[in-house]
Structures are given as structure tokens and as C-alpha cells.
Amino acid sequence: MSTPASVLDAALEHAFTGLREGRESFAPKLTPHEVGTITSISTGIATVSGLPGVGFEELVRFPGGLLGIAFNVDEKEVGVVLLGDYEDLRAGDEVERTGRVTDVVVGEGLLGRVIDPLGRPLDDKGPVPGNERWPVERPAPAIMDREAVSVPLQTGIMVIDALIPVGRGQRELILGDRQSGKTAVAIDTILNQRGKNVLCVYCAICQRASAVAKVVARLQEKGAMEYTVVVVAEGNEAPGLAYITPYAATSIAEYFMEKGRDVLIVYDDLTHHARAYRELSLLLRRPPGREAFPGDIFYIHSRMLERSTHLSKERGGGSLTALPIIETEAQDISAYIPTNLISITDGQIYLSPTLFELGVLPAVDAGKSVSRVGGAAQRKAYRSIAGDLKLAYSQFAELETFAKFGTRLDDSTRRIIDHGQRIRACFIQPESQPVAMAEQIGVLLALSVGLFDKVPLKKVAEGVRNLRGAAAKMPPDVAARLSTADKLSDADRKVIMDIATLALAPLQPPPPPKPAAEPAPEKKPAGSSAPATKPAPAAEPGPAPKPASAALPQKELATKPVVTGKPADPPAPAPKPAAEPAPEKKPAGGSAPTTKPAPAAEPGSAPTPASAAPPQKEPAMKPEATGKAADPPASAPQPAPPAKGADKPAP
């Protein structure tokens, strides 16, 4: 069927009329489009001229889609930080403005993904879902929009939860030397957030690709990637990407905080971030300061960590907890970057290389670690149990140093050291095995009451395992009350004590047997006196000596001269001869020791020759009046050998 000519003409007329009206209404407009030119390129830096309207931190686009940030805005040229591979750029290439600042994609679709700071996927799971983008640099919440930190963030690490508590919304620095376990502490904290309604963001700055892959594999193995976002800038990336990585990760975490969620972010680590910024600043000819860092190195970290807070209920009640990591050199925590971060954050956890070498893991030094939030971010059950543990642990650390010198210690000091050794042994914890709160309270309560003091030190680890297994079977109502803000009641304490006692009973040594009753000492007759120091030697066989009360002849009372200031020693006992000895005769030429003349010798006694060994008898003499009568000797004195060449016997 043919179309009438009139209908066709009408359609053509209508079409041409529309074209004519469109041509007549069209007015050409000139849109300014700024295009600059690369003048020079260096490591991660490009100098661009011809962009008079570019703003600070505005994104510019290079050939091939490469982006850069306008960092130095001078009168005639612009210093641009490159955000990617710049090997194909040449001087003279065109550069154009984008009209927007650096931003990153945010949203629920990021959970379980590994991305770079620009939001590009790195896990081969396809494009990252989400149409909303937030700038990487955002102002921190106002003071009136914040609330105090009062809810604890359980790390699952016993020494931290007991001695250095961390609250939701707090900024707690982790610092220590290289290879001392800093990343392990942060990863264990992420693993412990499973089932606690806390989202996590792990930010890896200039880390090795193998180290990042290991962390991601561990998170996937433990099921933590379901609530975690990983933002990575590898060590071989451009320094510009390393610079914006923590800011991009903070914006992703802030998105969830604004939704009323509790978020944990880990910066691993800010030492590499500071070095990357120093490299960019020196290449941009900015004046260096201390340790060649630019003057605003403090500000780039403070404005980022200030975004971590606990929002008020009017703002949704969300929180952002930050765990920045810093690497020290030779245990120097007074260096430039560590002191900056210590002054910015709300406390620090110091990991000691000495404890690490001793096998105490995690190697947390309780003396140099502190939480400025303190007990406000700790449950009352912890405070009632672990209140004295930190003091006891610190005293042990000080006394242990003196004990290494072999100093003799008293019983009180020895008890403090033994108790501290068991505290440290209980705080040793395997990696990637966080401890539940009920198990921690059971171990801490057993420590505080001294149940572990009876366990041998080598069996403390076994005792902790037994106690954790028993505490896991704690009655549900008791475990529920531990999670509340109420103080630990006496009934709950008794239940936990009974569990701990039963768990540790097999490891405690049996009590020593009671010693047998000693025989009663013999009663001494009244009026008798025993020697003060040691009993008298047994008498040699022979005739029995005469009793002390019997009157002895005056000639047998041989005594030694009394020396002033020194008591006279009693003569050594000797066997008494069977026959009565002949009366003693005064030797020739001998002289009496006193002025009183000796009695005459009896007839019939021959004089003793000088060469013979006469018995050492002295002539009888009256005792001196010293206020106490001298005790008569029990037997005759032992004869002494004569001196060689002596002419007369010794007096």
C-alpha cells in the first residue's frame, strides 16, 4: 500500500522545520579548558607550567590516565605528586585539570576486598561496587560532636586487656623495633573482633607484597575478611600513593562511623608514611628540618589521627579506634617521629626486643606502656581483679634486674620475683589465638589470689591451658554478667575461684608430710649448770674422778696464774693414775709464780732431770680472791712436751 504524497510532504516539512529552529537557536559558546605542559620529571614528581587556575591538592590528569596531586602551587609553575607509574611521561606532554580533589570510593561493597588508595581492586574479584566517593582529606569532627571513651575494645591479648586497656574511639600507638611483633598485635586485635559488631580497616603502607599477602591469607583463614577492608600501597609504588594511603583508609572507616558503626583502623606503619612525605618534600625543594623532615610532619599525622573519635548519640554514636604503628631504631622511643606520635595519641604499647628474645610473646613492656584512657575503658570485672597486677609486674621487672647480679634476696623479695615470673608466664600467648573475656578473667583472678604461686614455673603454661578450657565451660549466666558494667560479685568470684582451683589442682605439688614428733629433752637436775657452748668431752677410761664436793689436798689444786681481763681456762682432763702420786718436789732453780713459798718436798723423791718430760704440775697455791671460787680440776693436767733445749719445765 502506497503512502499518499501529502503525508510524506508533511513529515518532511516538519523535519526541516525542526532543523531550522535548532540552527537558529544555536549559539556557540567557548568553554575554557586549561591545559598545561610538563617541564621536568623526577622521582615521583612532575613540574607543570600553564595551569593558572589549579587549586591545592586538586587532581590533574596526565596522558594515559595517570593522575597527580597539585602539591606546590607557585606563581609560574606547579609541583605535582604522581600517583602511579610515570615511566612513559616525557617533558612537553599535556596536563589537564579535573576540577576535583583526591577521593576514594566508599560503601558496604568494600567489605572483604583489597583495594589501592584510589579505589582500584587488587584481589581479582572484579570492579569495586559503589557509586559514592568521599575525599581523602576531611575535617575532623567538632568537639561538641564527640563523647567520652567509655566502651572497651577487647583485643584478645591478655596483657593489653588487663594492664593497658583500649577503648572504642581511642588512639593507641604500637611501637617497637623491627621484627618485634607489632603487626601481630594489630592482626590479633582484628581477629578478636569477630562477632562483636566491629568493622576493621587494615592499611598497609610501603609493605612488601609477600607480607601483605600473608596478612590477607591469615585474615581469610580465620574468617576475618568478612568484616575487614584492606587498603594497600606496596613498597615499590610511587611515594605519592604511599602518602595518600592512610587518608583514603580513614575516609573509608569514617563512612561506616557516620552510619553509627564501631570501626577499628590499623596504620601499618606510619614510619614509612613519614619517610614517603619527606622524600616528596625534598624533591619539591621544601626546606628540611630535624632529621630532614619538613616542618609540617607533625601536622600530617595529627590531622589524620584527630579524625578517630567517639561520636555523640546525635551524630549516630559511632566510633573510630586507631592503632597506628611506629618502628623505632635501637629501642630509641625519643626519636623525632615516635615522640610526635606519642604526643598525638592517647597512649602507647611498647614492644621490647629483650622480651622478644627471651620468648615472652607478645613482648609488651608494661613499664613503658600506658593507656591515658585507663580504667574508664575497662570493665569493672577487670578493674577489681587486675588492679594490682600492673604494680606487681612492674616491681618484679625492677627487682629482676638486681637479682641477675647474684644479690642475696630476702624472703619478701623472693616472693615478689616468684609471683612476677608467674605473671609473665601467664601473659605469654600464641599468635593468632585471642583469648575470650571469661577465660581472661579466670586466669587473672587465679593470678591475683596466688593460685599460680604453688604451680611450678615450668607447668604454668599447662595450667593456663587447663584453666582456659575450664573457664570456657563457665555457667552462661556468670559469663553474661562478666560482660556487663557491674562489678564482680562475691558469688561469681567464688564460682570462678572453684573452677580455677579444680583446674590447677593436678599441677600443684602435694603438701609435704608432717615431721615426726621429736623426743622431749631430758630434764636437768635443779641447781646443775651445763656448759653454754658445747658439752664437756667424755672422760677417758680410768678410775672415777673424785666428786667436786670432796675436799682435795691443797697440793693437788694446781692452777694457772690468773691473767687480768681474761678468765682462766680450765686444765684439760687427763686420766688419774691408779696409785697415789708422790708428793711433788720443787724443781731445782724453779721459782713459784707468786710470792707465797711453795711447800717443802717430801723426802724420798728424786729431782726430775731437765731433759726428761715432767708432768706439767704447778705447786699448790691459794686461789686469788676474785669474787668466785675456782672450780677444782676433774683430773690432773695433761703433761706437755718439753721445749727443745729447755733448761727447766714450763711454769
pLDDT confidence of residue 489: 86
Please check whether residues 428 and 310 belong to one and the same domain: no
Whether residues 113 and 165 share a domain: the answer is yes
Task: Tell me how far apart the alpha carbons of residues 235 and 223 are, in angstroms, rounded to a whole number.
Answer: 27
Q: Could you report the per-residue pLDDT of 437-472, keeping only the tens digit for each? A: 999 999 999 999 999 999 999 999 999 999 999 998
Query: Are residues 507 and 455 in contact, defined by beta-carbon separation less than 8 angstroms?
Result: yes
Q: Is 40 helix (H, G, I), strand (E, B) or coil?
A: strand
Asked if the model's pLDDT at residue 608 lies above 50, the reply is no
225-234, 393-402, 499-508: segment of lowest average pLDDT: 393-402
Domain boundary among 101, 126, 157: 101
Tell whether 167 and 315 lie within a shared domain: yes
644, pLDDT greater than 90? no
Whether 275 is catalytic is no
Is 73 within a domain?
A: yes
Residue bearing the bigger pLDDT, 66 or 533: 66
% of the chain surpassing 90 pLDDT: 59
Residue 132 C-alpha from the chain's centroid: 43
Residue 555: pLDDT band (50, 70, 90) is very low
pLDDT-derived band at 349 (thresholds 50, 70, 90) equals very high
pLDDT recorded at residue 546 = 47
Mean pLDDT across 567-591: 48
Specify whether 147 is located in the same domain as 288: yes
**Where is pLDDT greater, at 412 or 546?**
412
pLDDT at 614: 45
Assign residue 59 the CATH number of its domain: 2.40.30.20
- Within this chain, do residues 324 and 244 fall inside the same structural domain, yes or no? yes
For residues 485-492, give the mean pLDDT: 81
Listed as own residue / partner, the contacts of 139-147 with beta carbons closer than 8 Å and 24 or more positions apart are 140/303, 140/306, 140/307, 140/309, 141/307, 141/309, 141/311, 141/315, 144/312, 145/311, 145/312, 145/314, 145/315, 146/309, 146/310, 146/311, 146/312, 147/310, 147/311, 147/312, 147/313, 147/317
315 vs 546, more confident = 315
- Catalytic, out of 61, 133, 303, 372: 372
Instruction: Note whether residue 554 is domain-resident.
Output: no
Query: Residues with Cβ < 8 Å from 271, sequence gap 6 or more?
Result: 325, 326, 327, 337
CB atoms within 10 A of CB 370: 18
Task: Determine, yes or no, domain membership for 517.
Answer: no
Worst-scoring range by mean pLDDT, 251-255, 438-442, 586-590?
Answer: 586-590
pLDDT higher at 285 or 1 = 285
Last residue of a domain, which of 355, 378, 401?
378
Residue 401's CATH number: 1.20.150.20
The single residue listed with the C-alpha cell 605542559 is 37
- Same domain for 342 and 387, yes or no, is no
Same domain, 457 and 356: no
Q: Is residue 570 part of a domain?
A: no
Q: What is the pLDDT of residue 165?
A: 93
**By three-state DSSP, how is residue 16 classified?**
helix
pLDDT of 418 reads 92
**Cα distance between residue 637 and residue 556, in whole Å:** 10
| Whole-angstrom distance, CA of residue 251 vs CA of residue 105 | 9
pTM of the shown model: 0.75
The number of beta carbons lying within 10 Å of the beta carbon of residue 2 is 5
pLDDT of residue 619: 44
Return d(Cα 120, Cα 126) in angstroms, integer: 10
Number of domains in the chain: 3
Q: How confident is the model at residue 530 (pLDDT cuts 50, 70, 90)?
A: very low
Q: Is residue 130 located within the same domain as residue 182?
A: yes
207-216, 233-242, 541-550: segment of lowest average pLDDT: 541-550
Provide mean pLDDT across the span 545-572: 45
Cell, residue 325: 604503628
- pLDDT, residue 518, reads 63
Report d(CA 270, CA 279) in Å as an integer.
14
User: In this structure, is residue 538 part of a structural domain?
Assistant: no
Pairing of strands 228-234, 198-207: parallel
317 and 426 share a domain? no
Q: Is the pLDDT of residue 428 over 50?
A: yes
pLDDT at 64 over 50: yes
pLDDT at 548 over 70: no
Number of other residues whose CB lies within 10 A of the CB of residue 375: 14
Encode 180-233 in three state secondary structure: CCHHHHHHHHHHCCCCCCEEEEEEEEEECHHHHHHHHHHHHHCCCHHHEEEEEE
**Whole-angstrom Cα distance, residue 286 to residue 276?**
14
Q: Is residue 421 part of a domain?
A: yes
Give residue 523's pLDDT.
58
Question: Average model confidence (pLDDT) for the chain?
Answer: 82
H or E stretch including 27? none
Please give the average per-residue pLDDT across 257-282, as a whole number: 96
Q: What is the arithmetic mean of pLDDT over 471-483?
A: 87
pLDDT confidence band for 5 (50 / 70 / 90): confident
- Helix extents (H) in 387-487: 389-403, 411-427, 437-448, 460-471, 476-482
218-232, 568-582, 598-612: least confidently modelled range: 598-612
Lowest mean pLDDT among 338-347, 426-435, 586-595: 586-595
pLDDT in tens, 84-109: 999 999 999 999 999 999 999 999 99
Task: Give the type of residue at 1.
Answer: M
Per-residue pLDDT, 26: 78
Q: How confident is the model at residue 479 (pLDDT cuts 50, 70, 90)?
A: confident
More confident residue, 300 or 557: 300
Cis peptide, bond prior to residue 631, ω within 30 of zero = no
Which residues form the domain of 323? Answer: 102-378
Tracing cell 591538592 back to the chain, one arrives at 57
Q: The domain that contains 128 carries what CATH number?
A: 3.40.50.300
Note whether 269 and 390 are same-domain residues. Answer: no
What residues contact residue 591 under an 8 Å CB cut-off, 6+ apart? none
In this prediction, residue 198 carries a pLDDT of 97
Domain boundary among 72, 101, 130: 101
Of 43-47, 361-365, 405-409, 500-504, the poorest mean pLDDT is in: 405-409
The residue ranking higher by pLDDT, 182 or 532, is 182
